[in-house]
């Protein structure tokens, strides 16, 4: 299986901060990575697919980059609605689809 490792596991930030979350894959997945946002009691919501493609309706302050084994999710200016847990997911079906352990973005 392809293991996905996210860092940090928890991040404390203030409104207006630039926030970066990292996701590392145990082997190359090219650009086949997705990012999700999950709020308490809710299902995850797709933010980005294919590493950097913004899902329709997702604010442009979210961006994704990377390829191979290292990827980042950046929130350019953190908004109150962005405090949530974020997950990465490797999309290569040659292996079981797997998620990172999550990054909780908390209010500082």
Q: Rule CB under 8 A: which residues touch other proteins? A: 1, 32, 34, 36, 42-46, 49-50, 55, 87, 89, 91-94, 96-102
**Minimum distance from CB of 26 to other proteins (Å)?**
16
Nearer to other proteins, 3 or 77 (CB): 3
Between 13 and 91, CB nearer to other proteins:
91
Rank residues 11 and 46 by Cβ distance to other proteins and give the closer one: 46
Minimum CB distance to other proteins, residue 37 (Å):
11
Using the minimum distance from each CB to other proteins, give the nearer residue, 20 or 98. 98
- Provide, rounded to whole angstroms, the least separation between the CB of residue 14 and other proteins: 25
Handedness of CA 94, 96, 97, 99 (dihedral sign): negative
Dump the DSSP string for 22-74: EEEESS--TT-EEEEEE-TTS--EEEEETTTEEPTT--TTEEEEEETTEEEEE
Beta bridge partners of 25: 4
Biggest distance spanned by C-alpha atoms of the chain: 40
């Amino acid at each position: 299986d392809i293991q996905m490792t996210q860092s940090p596991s928890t991040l404390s930030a203030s409104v207006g901060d630039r926030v970066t979350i990292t996701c590392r894959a145990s082997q190359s997945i090219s650009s086949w990575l997705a990012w999700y946002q999950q709020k308490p009691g809710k299902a995850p919501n797709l933010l980005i697919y294919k590493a950097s493609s913004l899902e329709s309706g997702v604010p442009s302050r979210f961006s994704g980059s990377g390829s191979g084994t290292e990827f980042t999710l950046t929130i350019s200016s953190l908004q109150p609605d962005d405090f949530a847990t974020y997950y990465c997911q490797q999309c290569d079906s040659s292996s079981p689809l797997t998620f990172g352990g999550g990054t909780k973005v908390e209010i500082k």
